[in-house]
Each structure stands twice: as C-alpha cells, then as structure tokens.
Amino acid sequence: MSVGERARGLAYWTLDRVRGGRVAFHHQDLALQDGAPELLAERQTERLQDLLSHACRTTAYYAPFAGATELSQFPVLQKRFIRERHADFLSSAYPSDSLTTRTTSGSYGTPLAFYLTREKMLRHQAEIIYYARWAGYEVGCRHVQTRFMVIPSRLKLWMLNRVVMNPTSMTEEWLAAQREMLRTESIKFIVSFPSVLAGIASYCRTCGDTPDDYRLRGIIATAEQLSEDARSLIETTFGCPVLSRYTAEELGILAQECPTGKQHHLNGGSHVIEVLDRDRDVPAAPGEAGRVVVTDLWSHAMPLIRYELGDIAVMGERCACGWEGPVLTQIQGRITETIYDAAGNRLVPFVINHAMGGVDNVIQYQFVQHDHGRYRMRLCVMPGFAQEDVIRGRLLHALGPKASLDFEYVEDIPPLPSGKRPYIVNEMEARHRTDAVL
C-alpha cells in the first residue's frame, strides 16, 4: 500500500477507536467466530434467543409468540406480508429519529423500507471490511464501487479513497472511460455486479489489454449470480481473483465465496440462514435447491425472523478449505429467474450460461421468457460478433423443438431500479404473481 493508503487506513481505525471501537469489536467478533465453530454456535444461539425475546416484547406482530424459543415456532415471512403490516414489525424500543432507513430496490416488486439501528450499521461496516479482506482489500486502498442512486460527497470519496462507477448506461463511451480509469488511477480493488464487470472485461480484451495494464489485486462480484464463464473472463483480463458475495440491502452480507474452496461460507455471526423446501416450510432435502430464509440477529429495530428473500440456493455441510461451518454450494438466483422449457419443465440457470460459453464480442446479454415456449435473447455486442447460430443451437437444444426464440440486438440493456441487470428474466412468472395479487 502507498503512504496515502496506509494513512487513510490508520485514520479510519483511529476514528473508530475514538467513537468507542465498535467496528473493531464487530470485526474481531466475526474473525473469532469464523475460526471457532463452537464459539460461533454458542454466540449465535445467545443472540437468536435475545432477538426472539426482544421481538415478542416490543413489536405488535410478534407479541402473540411470546415464550417461543425455536425458529420453527415462527412463521416464514414474505415481503408482501411485511408491507401490508409494516407498522406491526417496528420495535417500540427505538425512537424513529435514531434509526437508519434502508429501502429494497423493488427489482421484483414494490420497494419496501426497513429500519436499522446504529449498531446494525456498524456491524455491516465490519462485515464489509472483514469479507473484503478475503479478496485482498485493506481499509484505505484505492478501490471502485458500483453505485446508482446516492453518491457520496467528493470529500467522503477522497477520505474513503473510493471511485464510484455508475453503469446506468453501458455505452461504448462509458466502457472506454472505465477502462481508462482502471488503467490510470492505481485501482487495487473493485466491488461491482458480474454483468458490469464482464462487460468491461470484454471491452478491455477487445482493446488488446493484458493483466499487466492493471494493478488490481482482487474483485468482488455481488448482487447477481456469477457464472464460471464470467469469472474466467474477468480473471484472465485483469489478472486477479474474483470472489462472489451474497448480500441483501436490508440484511448485509449473508455469505461470501471462499478463495480456496469456492463455496459460499455463511455469515453465521450475523444471521441464521435456512434453506427450505420450495413448497413447504420444512428444510430442503440434502443437496436439493430450496428457498433462502434469513433471521437477522442484529435486526432489533425491525426484527426480521424467518424472512424469505425470494432466492433459491443449495445448502452444503462444509467447504473444501476445511472450514466446518455450513455453506451454500449453489446460489441459483431469484425465484423469478427460474425458467421453463417449451414442455413446461424447470431449467437450471446453467443452461443459459452454457449457451453463452466461449462466445466472443458480447458485452451484455439477457435471456427472457415471455410465455410458455416463447423466448427472446437480447444481445449487446461488439463489432465482429458472428455467433448467433451457435447460441441459437445451444438454446433450442435445451428449450425443446417447439420453442420460439427471437434475437434482439440492443445498444444497452437498461438496469432495474436496483441497478442490477439480471441475465435471466421470466416475465411469465412475474405476470402470474401479479395476477394472483390482484
């Protein structure tokens, strides 16, 4: 690290110490539990019982559950239900002016406001620092972060040594500007979306760049599913490891990919994470995909107990690195990203990844299921792209002979309100859920 980077890191931890050292406390707590399964289980149990008791004492919704001590005694919550009874989930223990509001993006529905205590915000800061270190980040180093809505002031950006990347419109001019920034501003670390990272990497490769043109030490891909093809493209372009992070705006970091074993270690110090059967509120069978349900151990302002995210994942028992805690072996994305072949059979997202494997000169792509047997592949391409027939053949092989597949070439794929660009969109599923609500 440079002198300026070390100075920023020292200033950050000094200021935290002056303010009570809470970020350092949470950082140490995460590190200790990560290396000691018994300590993790002990503290997780203590914090869970504290949260359950607090929720039953101070919220209208959980009051009828007073005395319950097992998670299975509490219902699974969906966002729609929280929205309908929002005030009943707010704890009476905290004045509203002492809380921070976080709003979910509304990517798959109407935005929803959540309230967080100052301690929850400090916990989240510690999580970011702790898990970013797995990819080579240290506080103070020059880094890039993707942001869309709220952009920090120039002074704060300078203090954080951060550059903001806003990929609202990934035009060729924008890609050229990001390439120049990464090449000239001594960027060491990036946190961004896989679709954005892959688009920039593809452009840089087209320009003939090699890893020697960059100073990157690590990259974290978040908010979207990271395919192995995208990882390979990004790593070979920039010459540094790419790790996947599983996070939610209202919860913080849920899991992060291990640099050794490539499994997502659960953040058990902050959450209890369950993977439940798709149709029943019981644990999914070993090795089977199920619904991700989270209990946030630090959600005291607005307790979230058995909160269903709308994601699909597979739970595993251990990572190849030797870590003994539970892991997610697969994160398959939102339920709305589940697609079906022309015969109505569910397909895993991998079929889309496979169709795009080894395809050159594609900046962005998005596969859309309009209805039963009707599909569209949107492509944003570079000059020289000539592999539509390859993609079409692979997709039709998976979708079936009765599938209707169109191709659409666009200059950009607009992001959702969250800034995400999901590479799979099932309009049929979204339409059916909307009809059910109405």
Over 80: is that where the pLDDT of 11 sits?
yes
Examine the pLDDT at 132 and tell me if it is beyond 70. yes
- Tell me, yes or no, whether 206 and 125 share the same domain: yes
Q: What is the pLDDT of residue 169?
A: 67
The per-residue pLDDT for range 146-186, each reduced to its tens digit, is 876 567 788 888 888 999 988 766 778 889 999 999 999 99
Residue 58 lies in a domain: no
Average pLDDT of the chain, as a whole number = 88
The pLDDT tens digits of the residues spanning 29-69 come to: 999 888 788 899 999 999 999 999 999 999 999 999 999 99
Residue 306 located in a structural domain: yes
- Coil vs helix vs strand at 427: helix
Residue 79 has pLDDT above 90, yes or no: no
Whether residues 383 and 321 share a domain: the answer is no
DSSP state of 428: H
Instruction: Provide the 3-class DSSP secondary structure of residue 273.
Output: strand
**Alpha carbons 72 and 80: distance in angstroms, whole number:** 21
Residues paired with 368 in a beta bridge: 376, 425
Handedness of CA 291, 295, 298, 301 (dihedral sign): positive
Residue 436 has pLDDT above 50, yes or no: no
Shared domain for 11 and 93, answered yes or no, is no
Q: What integer pLDDT is reported at residue 218 of this predicted model? A: 96
Are 103 and 230 in the same domain? no
Q: How far apart are CA 260 and CA 205, in angstroms?
A: 27
- Please give the structure tokens belonging to residue 412: 């950009």
Q: How far apart are CA 327 and CA 78, in angstroms?
A: 23
Q: What is the CA radius of gyration of the chain?
A: 22
Residue 44 lies in a domain: no
Tell me if 49 is assigned to some domain. Answer: no
The answer to whether residue 364 scores a pLDDT higher than 70 is yes
CATH number at residue 229: 3.40.50.980
Q: Where in the sequence is the domain holding 7, given as residue range(s)?
A: 1-34+118-248
Domains of the chain: total: 3
The answer to whether residues 349 and 332 touch, using CB atoms and an 8 Å cutoff, is: yes
**Is the same domain home to 124 and 237?**
yes
Helix-strand-coil split of the chain, %, nearest 5: 40, 25, 40
Percent of the chain with pLDDT over 70: 92
Q: What local confidence, expressed as pLDDT, does residue 34 receive?
A: 83
Within a domain: residue 41? no
* In a shared domain, residues 169 and 231: yes
Each residue of 221-278: pLDDT tens digit? 998 888 888 899 999 999 999 999 999 989 999 999 999 999 999 999 999 999 999 8
At what angle are helices 22-34 and 118-132 packed, to 10 degrees? 50
For 398, residues 6+ apart whose C-beta sits below 8 A from its C-beta are 341, 347, 351, 354, 355
Token pair 């506080």: residue:
139
Asked whether residue 430 carries a pLDDT value surpassing 60, the answer given is no
Q: 421 and 383 share a domain?
A: yes
Give the angle 90-92-94 at the CA atoms, nearest 5°. Answer: 90
What confidence score (pLDDT) does residue 310 get?
Answer: 82
Residues 372, 255, single domain; the answer is no
Residue 48 lies in a domain: no
pLDDT at 269: 94
Q: Is this structure's pTM higher than 0.85? A: no
> What is the pLDDT at residue 159?
86
Do the domain assignments include residue 162?
yes
Per-residue confidence (pLDDT) for residue 431, from 0 to 100: 52
Question: Does 4 share its domain with 124?
Answer: yes
pLDDT at 146: 86
Give a yes or no: residue 400 inside a domain.
Answer: yes
Contact at 8 Å (CB) between 265 and 34? yes
φ/ψ of 304, rounded to 5, equals: -115, 100
CATH number for 365: 3.30.300.30
pLDDT in tens, 182-211: 999 999 999 998 888 998 999 999 999 999
Are 111 and 122 found together in one domain?
no
Looking at 248, 276, 303, the residue that finishes a domain is: 248
Based on the fold, state whether residues 175 and 223 are members of the same structural domain: yes
Question: According to the model, what pLDDT value does residue 337 have?
Answer: 67
Distance (Å) of CA 427 to CA 88, 223, 311, 350: 32, 20, 17, 19
161 and 195 assigned to the same domain: yes
